[in-house]
Copies of this chain bind each other. A is one copy, B any other.
Amino acid sequence: MLNQEDIGFYLSVFKELDLKDIYRLFYLAKTRGIAAGEIFIDEGDVYNKLAYIKKGLIRAYYLKPNGDEMTVLLRWENQFIASHDKIIYQQPSRFIYHALEDTVLMEIDYDKAQPILDSSPKLSATRHDFLLRMLAESMDRVESFILLSPEERYLQLVHEKPDIVNRVPNKYLATLLGITPVSLSRIRKRIASPRKH
């Protein structure tokens, strides 16, 4: 279930945790590969797992009745991912999660992870930290919508996650920023142009 290489890997990522705790948590985890373009969680799925992305990139999007896709979030290596609707509302997913690149993740049943997380103060604290980090990320995003213009939001994304900007097609980034691909293209032109801003 868990080999030498994996253990070393998790130790490096979760520095503050005991080997024992890591082992207990990842013992039940299973590795799963998803080819670029394939679906990880489909609309309507009740995905009851917690996944850790070892490699690759996942995009969640909402499919509007008219066929338009609105990117809701992106996750990549060294991040956890789960069905938001399941974790937060105990509901089937309204979103489709698919791999934008060949992706490898470790999956653990949430029902199995829960008691383990509860049993160790360190793991509980880590879970708490993760929740806080997710909250921080989400609130930062709310702030960016309130305080920044679409152009400033794009510049912020380029500044903070240049790697992601390169790996994700602009049409997906656009809806993530709350604008259309056409508008993003104009913003990019505006920025690139040496003229007045």
How many copies of the shown chain assemble into the complex? 2
Residue of B nearest to A139 (CB): B138
Number of interface residues of A (CB under 8 A): 28
A58-86 contacts to B, CB under 8 A, are 62, 64, 70-72, 84
Report whether A136 and B89 are in contact in the complex, using a CB–CB cutoff of 8 Å. yes
Mostly helix, strand, loop or mixed at chain A's interface?
A: helix
A178, chain B: closest CB distance, angstroms:
5
Given A128-B128, A135-B134, are A146 and B88 neighbors across the interface (CB < 8 Å)?
no
Q: Select A135's contact among B72, B127, B135, B146, beta carbons within 8 Å.
A: B135
Interface residues of A in 125-160 (CB under 8 A from B): 127-128, 131-132, 134-136, 138-139, 141-143, 145-147
Contact A88 B178 (CB under 8 A): no
Q: Are B131 and A135 in contact (CB under 8 A)?
A: yes
Tell me the bound Cα distance from A72 to B88 in angstroms: 23
B72, A146: Cβ atoms under 8 Å? yes
List B contacts of A136 (CB < 8 A).
88-89
Whether A88 touches B135, Cβ cut-off 8 Å, given contacts A128-B128, A141-B142, is yes
In the complex, the chain B residue whose C-beta lies closest to that of A141 is B142
Return A168 CB to nearest CB of chain B, in Å: 15
B175 touches A139 (CB 8 A): no
Contact A84 B139 (CB under 8 A): yes
